[in-house]
Amino acid sequence: MTDVDLRTSILRHLTYSLGSDADHATQHDWRIALSLAVRDRLIENWHAASRATRAVGAKRVYYLSMEFLIGRLLEDAIVNLRLEDEAQQALTGLGLDPVAVIQDEPDAALGNGGLGRLAACFMESLSTLGVPAFGYGIRYEHGLFRQSFEEGRQIETAEDWLTQYHAWEFERRDVRFKMCFGGEVVEEGGKPVWHGQEAVMAQAYDTPVIGWRGRWANTLRLWSAQPLHGFDLDRFNRGEYAAAAEPEALARTISRVLYPDDTTEQGKELRLKQEYFFTAASLRDILRRFEAEGGALTDLPKRAAIQLNDTHPAIAGPELVRLLHDEREMPLDQAIATARGCLSYTNHTLMPEALERWSEDLMTSLLPRHMQLIERIDAAHAAEQPSRSVSLTGDGEVRMGELAFVMAHKVNGVSALHTDLMKKTVFAELHRLHPDRIVNETNGVTPRRWLLSANPRLSGLITRTIGEGWVDDLEQLERLEPSLTDPAFLDAYAAAKRANKADLADWLAAEHGVQVDPDAMFDVQIKRIHEYKRQHLNILEAIALWRDIKANPQGNWVPRVKIFAGKAAPGYFFAKEIIRLINDVAAVINSDPETNRYLKVIFLPNYNVSLAERLIPASDLSEQISTAGKEASGTGNMKFALNGAPTIGTLDGANVEIRDRVGARNFFLFGMTADEVEARRAVPEHAAQAIAADPRLSGALMEISRGTFSRRDRHRYRGVVANLSGADYFLVCSDFTAYWDAQRRADAAFADADAWRRMAACNTARSGWFSSDRTIRGYMADIWDVVAVRSGLDEAMQPPG
Ligand code: AZC
């Protein structure tokens, strides 16, 4: 199938795979035909990669994650296979609009936010680097909910990406495992044996993940839950139609929905089932592969590095011990040591509510043998510590963070500051006991998706200036340094940004009916809505600015467009209030003829990966304004810097490292440090003090209180104002004045167009370190002890010449 040109292949697939023809094909048909034609080009590389792995008996990385926020796959594959020109020609030749065909693909939204997107970037980097790896997760029927607004309020509806034909996956009918829940543990022949009560099948679906230039491809293996037994014909024939379908419906529940929050209170049991389901199926698969290849079980750590993405797969510890000890008769101590040799754990948050804890009762009823093993692991660990200060259980709960820590040989944080705080706070005691276990691996993002593909204008300029080597060696962006004083380069740089902004302005007008001036500053905050991320600080500043402009409409204002996007967890009331407030403020400000030349506020619905790809290249200013100490790393911050949007931000997460690299002059720093935050919180009435000291802040709050943004309902935001002027746990008020000042510094800088474009270009040139390739190399050396493998395709895939 790869011996023909892309156009022929598209037409063949349209005819023979889809049973359609060029005269009647819909956009969807063309997109699927193109996807299949592109897919054909990567299958052989995919197979070659697994052959090469087996041939050298290479150690593999297994990345276990509840979330993979992969977004669209077609464009990624086209770019990584270097098929852009061929695809463009083929589609235009067929009378199609290439952009429309590619954008017809729905986002695969199998994740909530940062942690899931990181997993997707890591998968791409693993393939680019030629590291044998599997990603393991759940094939959710419904990904993250779709967001719309009704009178400014967030409305959630089910997302249904799988109702469309999914061209990228392969069902593996030969890879199925029976997973059990509940039941009891009984002694049989002197051994504990778990007899589960309920069972479902885990069915594997594989998606190839192709690396840069197609040199290597790994597999994303997602599990779908299916009933153990087929359809109950007996019951059906008795007329019990619903009952006949029941087992299937129950089984499928497990892979039905992605939880829209990591901290959900609802459906705890289902969530734990999901976690066990995919973790245990993955471990079964890993052991099956290991055993098929041969070797002593104690050598498992030499062949398998299993990364736990947050605590969601933390049940892997006891499950692997169970598989080795109960099912393969390895002595318990050795089973624990062997499991620990394989496992490592990434922590993504210090927020106490996100560190999972399961009630012992639930654990005992759902996973009775695991509860016993957790107690054994706890006892073995306690024996190592004289003070016995750390326990895996307590207050009737199992502490999954501690369990993951104890069962891992390495535990990593995701930015320097976060890792440091982890050592001092959540894992202080465990760190004292195991001082070598915690390491830092600052996050990164894949430059193929986030620069090369999302921003063709800028990436074209970079390639013309320093060659193409930067694409898989991002630190080569340093070589732009001499161009930062070259007016011709800076002109071209500014022109690329201006064109991206004009495209965005056109899209905003066409899709959302809002008019914006492409020469205004595009000030963008896109991420999950959370109090710690402080979207409300941003909107307060907008209100204050609006009031200032109204007081002095003839002033020399720098025009701004404030763009927000992001979803709030359906059960997170306050976050949803923030969304509504922003929408309400936008409605008032945007229709004010006195100010709307200078200030617009837009909240775009249904934030997802492809919206981020559209917005980031067209942004001027990146809002990274979390309360210091709360944002573990951030990865959006890196994408903006890379695409030439300087940050306005606090010393939090990876912002610290971004500022170190791009230079303090190219970063708008404000706000309290993590230590100052702690001290400030102890000050009685800190919010009231801050409000009394800043008339702009008190004015903005007064404006909300008096109902300016409340439509018919004056007290709508009483709760928001009470929270901000009362407890204000995230210190919005205490950081407001510093934020305002930093925004005015940004205005002044933006008004000097020459200085601004240099600052933007500096951000691009100095962000090369934030590639996920660099992060993965760190994991390889510090955590996994794996090396890359060559597939023999390297030369074959080089472009001619
Ligand atoms: C996020 C962190 O909030 C973000 O700071 C980080 O960049 C990202 O992980 C990747 O490390 N966390 C999550 O998405 N979810 C949880 C449970 O922390």
Q: Look at residue 2 in the predicted model and tell me its pLDDT.
A: 60
Q: DSSP assignment, residue 601?
A: E
Over residues 178-222, the pLDDT tens digits come to 999 999 999 998 899 999 999 999 999 999 999 999 999 999 999
> Which residues are within 8 A (CB) of 481 and not within 5 positions of it... i.e. 6 or more apart?
765
List, for residues 80-94, the tens digit of each pLDDT value.
999 999 999 999 999
Here the tokens at position 726 are 């009362």
Q: How many CA atoms lie within 13 A of 25 on its CB side?
A: 25
CB 136 within 8 A of CB 221: yes
Q: Can you give the three-state secondary structure of 5-54, one letter per residue?
A: CHHHHHHHHHHHHCCCCCCCCCHHHHHHHHHHHHHHHHHHHHHHHHHHHH
User: Residue 235 Cα, ligand 1 centroid: separation in angstroms?
Assistant: 47
- Give yes or no for residue 414 CB within 6 A of ligand 1: yes
Rounded to whole angstroms, the Cα distance separating 271 from 138 reads 12
Split at pLDDT 50, 70, 90, the class of 233 is confident
Q: How far from the centroid of its chain's Cα atoms is residue 205's Cα?
A: 21
Q: For residue 782, which of 437, 472, 445 has the smallest C-alpha distance?
A: 437
Q: Which of 140-149, 235-244, 388-397 has the highest mean pLDDT?
A: 140-149
What pLDDT, on the 0 to 100 scale, is given for residue 250?
A: 80
Q: Cβ–Cβ contacts within 10 Å for residue 97, how many?
A: 12
Q: Whole-angstrom Cα distance, residue 536 to residue 387? A: 45
Closest atom of ligand 1 to 263 CA is 17
Got the DSSP string for 729-790? Answer: TT-HHHHHHHHHHHHHHHHHHHHSHHHHHHHHHHHHHT-GGGBHHHHHHHHIIIII------
Q: Which pLDDT value is given to residue 795?
A: 46
CB 69 within 8 Å of CB 39: no
Q: Is the pLDDT of residue 801 over 80?
A: no
Amino acid at residue number 539: I
Token match 């061929």: residue? 86
- Identify the pLDDT of residue 797: 45
Report the percentage of the chain scoring pLDDT > 90: 90
The finding on whether 354 has its CB within 6 A of some atom of ligand 1 is: yes
Q: What is the pLDDT of residue 17?
A: 96
How do residues 462-509 score in pLDDT, each as one tens digit? 999 999 999 999 999 999 999 999 999 999 999 999 999 999 999 999
**What's the mean pLDDT when you consider all of the chain?**
95
Look up the pTM and report it: 0.97
Cα 396 to averaged position of ligand 1 atoms, centre (Å): 27
First and final CA of the chain: distance in angstroms?
25
Please check whether residue 397 is in contact with residue 360, taking contact to mean a CB–CB distance below 8 angstroms: yes
Q: Which of 63, 110, 115, 312 to mutate to test the pocket of ligand 1 (most atoms within 8 A of CB)?
A: 115
pLDDT at 793 over 70: no
What proportion of the chain, given as a percentage, has pLDDT over 70?
Answer: 98
Q: Show which residues are catalytic.
A: 348, 527-528, 533, 635, 639
Quickly state the pLDDT bin for 431 (edges 50, 70, 90): very high
Nearest atom, ligand 1, residue 112 CA: 14
pLDDT digits (tens, 9 = 90+) for 634-668: 999 999 999 999 999 999 999 999 999 999 999 99
Distance 12 CA to ligand 1 centre (A): 43
Q: List pLDDT tens digits, range 703-734.
A: 999 999 998 888 999 999 999 999 999 999 99
- Look at 263 and 142; give whichever has higher pLDDT: 142
Region 418-435: mean pLDDT is 96
pLDDT of 291 strictly over 80? yes
pLDDT at res. 409: 98
DSSP-assigned states of every residue in 654-677: THHHHHHHH-GGGSEE-S--HHHH
Query: What span, in angstroms and rounded, lies between the C-alpha atoms of 335 and 320?
Result: 8
- Write the secondary structure of 157-198 as one string of H (helix), E (strand) and C (coil): ECCCHHHCCCCCCEEEEEEEEEEEECCEEEEECCEEEEECCE
pLDDT of residue 234: 82
Write the ipTM. Answer: 0.98
Q: Domain 57-72+107-439's class? A: alpha beta
Q: What whole-number distance in Å separates Cα of residue 61 and Cα of residue 125?
A: 12
Q: Is the CB of 342 under 6 A from ligand 1?
A: no
Q: For 336-346, what is each residue's pLDDT tens digit?
A: 999 999 999 99
Mean pLDDT on 528-556: 97
Residue 164 pLDDT: 83
- The residue ranking higher by pLDDT, 2 or 585, is 585
Q: Which two tokens stand for residue 561?
A: 């467009």
CA of residue 154 to ligand 1 center, whole Å: 22
Query: Which residues of the chain are in CATH 3.40.50.2000 domains?
Result: 57-72+107-439, 447-770
Q: List the beta strands (DSSP E) in 519-659.
A: 521-526, 560-565, 599-604, 621-624, 647-649
* Residue minimizing CA distance to atom 13 of ligand 1: 115
- Averaged pLDDT for residues 581-594: 97
Strands 560-565 and 521-526, by their bridges, are parallel
Band of pLDDT at residue 335, cut at 50, 70 and 90: very high
Region 444-465: what's the mean pLDDT?
Answer: 98
Contact 582, 535 (CB under 8 A): yes
Task: Indicate the pLDDT class of residue 796, thresholds 50, 70 and 90.
Answer: very low
**CATH architecture designation of domain 447-770:** 3-Layer(aba) Sandwich (3.40)
Question: Which of 62-76, 103-117, 226-240, 377-391 is least confident?
Answer: 226-240
Phi, then psi, of 399 in degrees rounded to 5: -95, 105
Q: What is the pLDDT of residue 442?
A: 98
For residue 685, give the DSSP letter.
Answer: T
Q: Which of 228-242, 348-362, 487-501, 530-544 has the lowest mean pLDDT?
A: 228-242
pLDDT at 792 over 70: no
Residue 265 has pLDDT above 60, yes or no: no
**Cα torsion for 762, 763, 764, 768, to the nearest 10°?**
110
